[in-house]
Amino acid sequence: MTDAVSQFYQSYNEDSRFERPSRAVEYLTTLHMIDTWLSQLPPASAILDSGAGSGVYALHYAAHGHSVTAIDITPKHIEQIQAKIVQSKQVLSVQAEIGNAIHLSNYADQSFDMVLCLGPYYHLTSTEDRASCLSESMRVLRLGGILIVAYINKYSIAPMLAVKEQGYMRPSVIEKVLQEGVFYDGEEDSFWTDLYVTSPEQMEQDLLSAQAEIVDHAGADGITHTIDGSIDVMDKDTYNTWINYHFQTCRERSILGLSTHGLIVGRKS
C-alpha cells in the first residue's frame, strides 16, 4: 500500500464518514454482516481489524466484550484510536498499532477468530499485494474463523460519476474502470487516491484462490452512495423504510454490482 493512501487519510476526517444518513447505510449493513457471523464464534472473540481507520468497528466490538487488535497504515488513525481508548468509560481490550494489511508477520498463525479487512483491499493496486492481503488474513485466522472483506464494485463507478463527477465521464476513465480497474493518485483519470475496483464475481474468485469458503456476500450501501442527496433529506420513517428495503435486498445477486461497497465473507475450513 502506497504512501499516497496514507497521506490521503492523514488529512481526511475519517471520524465524519458515517455522519450523514446516506453514508450510515454502509455502517449499519457492515455491523449487520459482522454480527451475523460473530454470533457463530466464541462469546469473547479475538478480532483483527486490519485497516481500522479511526476505530469505529474496533471500538464498537471491544465495547461488546471482544478482544480487538486494530492496525492501520495511517499514524493519525492509530493516535485517534488510542485517544478514544483512554477517554472511554469502559475498560476496552483494544491494541492499536501501525500496521499493513499485506504484512501481518507480527501475528502468529491462527491467532484470530475474525479478521475484518474493511478498507485496505480497494487501495491495493497490484495483484500481488491483493493476494498477500487475503493470504495473510487467512493465515492468522483460526480454523472455522471468519474473514470479511470490503471492496468497491466497478459497476457502481459510472452511475456515481454521472451524478457527481461528470468531468470524469470520459472514455479513458470508463475503459479503466471496466478493464484493469486500477487508478493511481495524481493521474489525469484518477478521481480519488490509489484505487482498485472489481466485480462481485472476481472478488469471489479471489477469495476462493485464498482457500476461503464463501459463506456470505452483500452490497454494503446499494445505490445509496449515488443517490445520497435524496437519502439525506428523508424523514425518519422514510429512511427506516429504505434501510429495511436495503437489508432485504443487499444479497440480491442481480443488483449486487451496483452497490458502491461490497462485503464478502469467507470462512477458514
With cut-offs at 50, 70 and 90, classify the pLDDT of residue 5: confident
Q: What is the pLDDT of residue 87?
A: 95
With cut-offs at 50, 70 and 90, classify the pLDDT of residue 16: confident
With cut-offs at 50, 70 and 90, classify the pLDDT of residue 73: very high
Per-residue pLDDT tens over the stretch 193-231: 999 999 999 999 999 999 999 999 999 999 999 999 999
Q: Are strands 182-183 and 112-117 parallel, antiparallel or unpaired?
A: unpaired
Per-residue pLDDT tens over the stretch 130-157: 999 999 999 999 999 999 999 999 999 9
Angle at 239 between CA 233 and CA 15, to 5 degrees: 75
Average pLDDT for residues 17-36, to the nearest whole number?
96
With cut-offs at 50, 70 and 90, classify the pLDDT of residue 13: confident
Reply yes or no on whether the pLDDT at 74 is more than 90.
yes
Average pLDDT for residues 58-68, to the nearest whole number?
97
Instruction: Check if the beta carbon of residue 243 is closer than 8 Å to that of residue 192.
Output: no
The whole-model pTM stands at 0.96
Average pLDDT for residues 30-45, to the nearest whole number?
97
> What percent of the chain shows pLDDT beyond 90?
93
Q: What is the pLDDT of residue 141?
A: 98
Q: What is the pLDDT of residue 180?
A: 94
CA distance 77 to 100: 13
Tell me, what DSSP letter sits at residue 153?
B
Average pLDDT for residues 107-124, to the nearest whole number?
98
Q: What is the pLDDT of residue 8?
A: 80
